[in-house]
């Protein structure tokens, strides 16, 4: 339960740090750190407007997306503490419960009958499919290294003690940060600030959402960022006592948010045709981690 609470606290400020970093890099003061949360609270106070062409799927999808992220948070451990749910193969549950939320978001956008939203949904489905192998190769490699298939046992057993292991940790951090940006439709794959339907991906999918439902969608995105930040933090705080692990957890979340903000500030959005190539690079990096694990295990001898 401790990890669940810490992820919610980190999510309340993660996107604010990203936006503040982008503002400072561009020479602007920018909004406050808690402005994204204020926006969500404002939306929660409003009612939702539904089109006559929408069915119950459109109304249910935001709640399902939020529920799937909360379920994924339950399997994330914290240092020496298990997640609320911990079992063999829970990283598979983590990946596919998030995929369930993505599935409902996609079919909800189709439910509106808007051709632009259907176009954005097809792109998001493609990018999620291309990113999935990178996650499984990454976590599967560490499962092979430690001999366990649950997040808690993998992070508890994983220790960095050589140059190769430190390199593997850095590569894993890069993969998870990039996966978080793809899953949240951020630069360089997507630009949340654009309002040109032909180039929008996630934003065009939620054009018909409003009020409380839109607040749920934004909250889900904030939690996803902190969720991947928690996975990164667990690589480095597994053997720390709780009174050191908690500040380290927030410190790593802070560094990840700064890295995302700087990356978005100095990276232009890719052309649509280049996005699949970029996402495939993640699978290549994950394969490097896989071969690094084989070197650590002396499997080439």
Closest CA to 290 of 280, 277, 299, 279: 299
| Region class of 185: left (phi > 0), else alpha (psi between -120 and 50), else beta | left
**Residue 210's pLDDT is what?**
87
- Digit-coded pLDDT (tens) for 92-105: 999 999 999 999 99
pLDDT digits (tens, 9 = 90+) for 147-196: 888 998 888 888 766 667 778 888 899 999 999 888 887 877 777 777 66
Q: What three-state secondary structure class fits 95?
A: helix
Those residues with Cβ within 8 angstroms of residue 77's Cβ, 6 or more apart along the chain or in another chain = 3, 83, 86, 151, 152, 155, 156, 234
Domains of the chain, residue spans: 2-296
Show the 3-state SS of 99-114.
HHHHHHHHHHHHHCCC
pLDDT for res 301: 60
Does pLDDT of 70 surpass 90?
A: yes
* Tens of pLDDT, residues 11-43: 999 988 998 998 888 888 878 888 899 999 999
Report the distance separating Cα 277 and Cα 266, nearest Å. Answer: 20
Q: What is 232-284 written as a DSSP string?
A: HHHTTSTTS-HHHHHHHHHHHHHHHHHHHHHHHHH-PPPPGGGHHHHHHHHHH
Which distant-in-sequence residues (6+ apart) come within 8 Å of 210 by Cβ? Answer: 46, 48, 49
Element (H, E) at 177: helix 163-183
């Amino acid at each position: 339960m401790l990890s669940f609470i810490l992820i919610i606290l980190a999510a309340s400020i993660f996107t604010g740090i990203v936006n503040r970093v982008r503002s400072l890099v561009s020479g602007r003061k920018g909004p406050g750190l808690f402005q994204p949360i204020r926006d969500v609270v404002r939306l929660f106070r409003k009612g939702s407007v539904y089109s006559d062409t929408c069915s119950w799927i459109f109304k249910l999808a935001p709640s399902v997306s939020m529920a799937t992220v909360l379920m994924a948070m339950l399997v994330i451990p914290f240092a020496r503490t298990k997640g609320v749910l911990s079992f063999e193969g829970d990283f598979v549950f983590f990946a596919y419960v998030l995929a369930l939320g993505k599935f409902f978001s996609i079919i909800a956008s189709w439910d509106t009958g808007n051709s632009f939203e259907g176009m954005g949904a097809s792109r998001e489905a493609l990018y999620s499919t291309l990113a999935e192998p990178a996650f499984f190769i990454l976590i599967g490699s560490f499962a092979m290294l430690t001999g366990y298939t649950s997040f808690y046992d993998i992070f508890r057993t994983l220790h960095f003690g050589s140059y190769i292991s430190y390199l593997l940790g850095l590569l894993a951090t890069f993969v998870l940060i990039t996966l978080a940006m793809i899953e949240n439709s951020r630069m360089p794959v997507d630009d949340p600030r654009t309002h040109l339907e032909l180039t929008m991906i996630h934003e065009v999918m939620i054009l018909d959402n409003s009020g409380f439902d839109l607040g749920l969608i934004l909250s889900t995105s904030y939690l996803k960022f902190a969720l991947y930040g928690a996975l990164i933090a667990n690589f480095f705080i597994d053997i720390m006592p709780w009174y050191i692990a908690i500040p380290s957890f927030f410190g790593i979340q802070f560094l990840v948010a700064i890295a995302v903000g700087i990356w978005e500030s100095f990276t232009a959005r890719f052309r649509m045709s280049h996005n699949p190539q970029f996402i495939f690079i993640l699978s290549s990096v994950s394969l490097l981690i896989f071969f690094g694990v084989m070197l650590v295990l002396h499997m080439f001898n």
